[in-house]
Amino acid sequence: MTTDPSAPKPATPDATPTDAAPVIEIRDLHKSYGELEVLRGVDIHAKRGDVVSLIGSSGSGKSTLLRCCNLLEDSQEGEILFKGEPVSWRGRGLARHPGDARQVLRIRTNLSMVFQQFNLWSHLTILENVMEAPIHVLKRDRAEVEDTARRYLAKVGIGDKCDVYPAQLSGGQQQRAAIARALAMEPEALLFDEPTSALDPELEQEVVKVIKDLAAEGRTMLIVTHDMKLAADVSNHVVFLHQGRIEEEGTPEMVFGATRSDRLRTFLSATRAA
């Protein structure tokens, strides 16, 4: 009997969802844009409470990896698992895409992403921005969501800004509002894509403090960052990507203090000189 190669792949027996499984697991992931191969077989995982920082030069595949993890980008080969549950795929190669829309929605709502450019709705107040997804995506009670939103805005230090609009806030305040919005989804993990790179140094420290506080709480996080001090301070695992592959990885002490790769050594020297 022949089978349809575009049909969703069933979960394998050893991939049964379990609380003991990593929150996020990526196996041999490949991602291309046409002929340009951006990720060339990446393996990474984050267990509950892990903070994994992804570092590397521009174009190394860091942000692409994060977007593939959250299924904002389709990958062409390899597996992505959320709490032991593999993503179901249809098609192959450049035609591959997730095969279960409900699964995609469930994974995305449990992996809240904080972007470099904030992406706040300009016509909504800060409180309304934070409330939008829990009400319309998760269908939660408005009064309950408002209480939660106010709590998270206070948590990131802008509880007094609930009724103002994004344009009335500094960049650091807008990024903290974006973090509160991500937290309001009560996700299993937070994904940060260069959360401080659009900020002046003074405003950057406001956001760094919030991320450090979240790490101290035991939040599961994947962080793409250019800030080596942040990566060293908050991570329990650091991954250095070079040309779409993992060149070196390990604890911050290993990666920054006992560097083995010449490419990583050159990269770190350049970041310190910048």
Q: Is residue 126 part of a domain?
A: no
Residue 11 lies in a domain: no
Is 107 inside any structural domain?
yes
pTM over 0.75: yes
Residue type, 231: A
Give the chain's mean pLDDT: 92
pLDDT at 8: 45
The confidence score (pLDDT) of residue 268 equals 96
pLDDT at site 274? 64
Dump pLDDT digits (tens) for 34-51: 999 999 999 999 999 999
Q: State residue 201's pLDDT score.
A: 87
Which range of residues forms the domain containing residue 193? Answer: 22-117+187-273
Q: What is the pLDDT of residue 18?
A: 52
> In the prediction, which pLDDT does 19 show?
60
Q: Answer yes or no: is 145 within a domain.
A: no
Considering the domain boundaries, does residue 17 fall inside one?
no
Domain count, the chain: 1
Residue 94 belongs to a domain with what CATH number? 3.40.50.300
In a domain, 204, yes or no: yes
* Local structure of 201: helix, strand or coil: helix
Over residues 191-231, the pLDDT tens digits come to: 999 999 889 888 999 999 999 999 999 999 999 999 999 99
3-class secondary structure per residue, 95-159:
HCEECCHHHHHHHHHHEEEECCCCCCCCCCCHHHHHHHHHHHCCCCCHHHHHHHHHHHHHHCCCH
Asked if residue 128 is part of any domain, the answer here is no
| pLDDT at res. 272 | 83
Question: Residue 62 is inside which H or E element, if any?
Answer: helix 62-69
Give the per-residue pLDDT at 202. Answer: 86
What are the residues facing 135 on neighbouring strands? none
Query: What pLDDT was estimated at residue 16?
Result: 45
**Torsion over CA of 194, 197, 199 and 204, rounded to 10 degrees?**
70
Spans in the chain with pLDDT lower than 70: 1-19, 274
Q: Does residue 248 lie in a domain region?
A: yes
